Amino acid sequence: MTTGTQMTEPEIRHLRVGDERSFREAVAEAAAEVPPWPFAFGWSDGMSFSEYVERVSAWERGESLPEGFVPAGYYVVVVGGEIAGRLSVRFGLNDYLAEIGGHIGYAVRTAYRGRGYATAMLREALGICAGRGMTRVLVTCHADNAGSRKVIERCGGVYERSTPDPDGRAEMRRYWVTTG
Ligand SMILES: CC(C)(COP(=O)(O)OP(=O)(O)OC[C@H]1O[C@@H](n2cnc3c(N)ncnc32)[C@H](O)[C@@H]1OP(=O)(O)O)[C@@H](O)C(=O)NCCC(=O)NCCS
């Protein structure tokens, strides 16, 4: 499925304090979607946005991590000054991530889908991982998520096996991607 709209060259970068309005809109939109998807880990509407920006930056450095949380980078894809999607890159795996979540997570706001932004984010993530010396990463998607499956396979994902989703949704397909 595609909107047929050309991709505007996206900027993929860390979250900035100036992103607050667009970020809040994206969070609300993602929560209202069916099924809902999380735009940002550890965020709640009453929080100070600037503190949140600092917090995700600390997590990337491996500082002040919540219990069981691995060091992870949080990035946004920005198109025409608006946040169009988000990218999470985990620099390690815990038990949950090793089976279900994988190293990389991405999501694109509805209005920006079908323009290659998820593919651009996964490619960017592979470069970020390579820069950290990670040669092979795990990327997963629900079996009924045809768009994400296409993104992973287009970026060189090699299917390994499927595993049940603990929340009872369609099973998760596990892929390994070589970062080089
Ligand atoms: C899945 C998702 C990330 C894809 O983002 P996107 O920016 O639209 O992805 P891209 O444009 O890079 O590529 C998607 C490809 O899948 C195709 N596609 C999308 N939905 C499809 C469907 N239902 N059936 C078949 N192909 C589909 C698109 O046409 C596109 O292929 P094309 O470039 O050959 O036209 C986006 O739909 C999303 O954020 N969904 C909600 C959250 C989510 O599922 N995150 C991923 C968790 S693993």
Q: Note whether residue 6 is domain-resident.
A: no
Whose Cα sits closest to atom 9 in ligand 1?
118
Is residue 3 assigned to a domain?
Answer: no
| 88 Cβ below 6 A of ligand 1 | no
Q: If you average pLDDT over every residue of the chain, what do you get?
A: 95
What pLDDT is stored for residue 6 in this prediction?
Answer: 66
Looking at residue 175, its pLDDT comes to 98
The domain in which residue 46 lies consists of: 11-178
pLDDT score, position 5: 62
Render pLDDT for 53-69 as a digit per residue (tens, 0 to 9). 999 999 999 999 999 99
Q: Name the closest-CA residue to atom 15, ligand 1.
A: 147
Domain tally, the chain: 1
Residue 125 located in a structural domain:
yes
- Of 72, 78, 159, the residue nearest 121 (C-alpha): 78
**Per the domain annotation, does 127 fall within a domain?**
yes
Q: What is the pLDDT of residues 66-122, one digit of tens each?
A: 999 999 999 999 999 999 999 999 999 999 999 999 999 999 999 999 999 999 999
Residue 171 falls inside a structural domain: yes
Measure the CA dihedral 122/62/55/133, to 10°: -20
The answer to whether residue 30 is domain-embedded is yes
Q: Which of ligand 1's atoms lies nearest the C-alpha of 117?
A: 7
Q: Judge whether 70 lies within some domain.
A: yes
Q: Which is the closest atom of ligand 1 to the Cα of 119?
A: 12
Domain harbouring 73, CATH code = 3.40.630.30
Least confident among 7-11, 33-37, 76-80, 136-140: 7-11
- 121-134 mean pLDDT: 98
- The answer, yes or no, to whether residue 171 has pLDDT greater than 70, is yes
CA of residue 145 to ligand 1 center, whole Å: 8
Q: What is the pLDDT of residue 125?
A: 98
Nearest CA to ligand 1 atom 16: 147
Report yes or no on 4 lying in a domain.
no
User: Is the CB of 175 within 6 Å of ligand 1?
Assistant: no
- In this prediction, what percent of the chain has a pLDDT beyond 90? 91
Query: The tokens 């089976």 sit on which residue?
Result: 99
The residue contributing the CA closest to ligand 1 atom 30 is 114
Report how far residue 41's alpha carbon sits from residue 112's, in angstroms, rounded to the nearest whole number: 21
